[in-house]
A and B are shown apart, each in its own frame.
Chain A
């Protein structure tokens, strides 16, 4: 069965979503990621969606779930690299991804996670304040 690879980078996990995900793959990712957060004692998760050409409400919900579950497991989630057309469409769709933090690219996302860890708390930027 195909899986989306999860990379470990120091205390963070990096997931780069490259494919047009079908629903089962998305559910598997959710399971794998929560497992890895616990196993690797990860403090943050970066979800790179710069390759995704669309995000529909299903994927949006999955991202929201991952963020919420990570928070329970004491890890921050940052979604990075959302394309402008995808962002415009999500807003029109009515999906603001509340509680999900965002960054322009992996580097900036990493920076955000680090500064948030250093402050020892939740950062200030939520996607859907």
Chain B
């Protein structure tokens, strides 16, 4: 399996594929079951955001080896309308898509590192990393 690959995130089926590939990567890195479940769930949330709010995009999966630490970094990118107020978007329960509004905030809680870049009109990029 490659250490760095990019998957399309355009349809509901793509979300399923992203979940499966993230799971395989997490197993390969040696995450325990709870860690696997957390990163796969975070990936599912962000992939759905990419489709619902960004109009589709891509998911990049990178297996990391940093000295003695192993981890998984996921980057979701879209060319959608972007997020005008990131602080607000990160609040629990804030939603524009009719969901529960837990996507971004939840994904942040499920990972060790979280980074978001967004410009109105240009798109959004969310990067999460989970270390073993």
Q: In the complex, are there CB atoms of A and B closer than 8 Å?
A: yes
Spell out A's residues near B (CB within 8 Å): 20-24, 53-58, 60-61, 84-86, 88-89, 92-95
Q: Which residues of chain B have a CB within 8 Å of any CB of chain A?
A: 12-13, 15-16, 19-20, 23, 33-34, 36-38, 40-41, 44-45, 48, 92, 99-100, 102-103, 105-106, 109-110
Within the complex, the shortest CB–CB distance from A3 to chain B, in Å, comes to 15
Question: Are B40 and A57 in contact (CB-based, < 8 A)?
Answer: no
The reply to whether B12 and A94 contact each other, CB–CB distance below 8 Å, is no
Interface of A is mostly: helix
In the bound complex, what is the Cα–Cα distance between A23 and B41 (angstroms)?
14
Q: Would you give 18 A-B contacts (Cβ < 8 Å), ordered by A?
A: A22-B13, A23-B15, A54-B37, A54-B40, A56-B41, A57-B100, A58-B99, A84-B34, A85-B34, A89-B38, A89-B41, A92-B38, A92-B106, A92-B109, A93-B110, A94-B102, A95-B102, A95-B106
Residues of chain A with a CB closer than 8 A to B109's CB: 92-94
Give 19 A-B pairs besides A56-B41, A60-B100, A92-B106 with Cβ atoms closer than 8 angstroms.
A21-B16, A23-B12, A23-B48, A24-B12, A54-B19, A54-B40, A56-B44, A56-B45, A56-B48, A57-B45, A57-B106, A58-B44, A58-B48, A58-B99, A84-B34, A88-B37, A92-B109, A94-B102, A94-B105
Minimum distance in angstroms from A103 CB to a CB of chain B:
21
Q: Are B110 and A89 in contact (CB under 8 A)?
A: yes
Decide yes or no: A94 and B92 within 8 Å by CB, A22-B15, A58-B48 being known contacts. yes
Instruction: List, in ascending order, chain A residues with CB within 8 A of B100's CB.
Output: 57, 60-61, 95
Contact A88/B19 with A56-B44, A60-B100, A94-B105 known, Cβ cut-off 8 Å: no
Residue of A nearest to B34 (CB): A85
- CB-based nearest B residue for A25: B12
B111 to chain A, nearest CB (A): 10
Chain B: which residue is nearest A26 at the CB level?
B12
- Give every chain B residue within 8 A of A57 (Cβ-Cβ): 45, 99-100, 102-103, 106
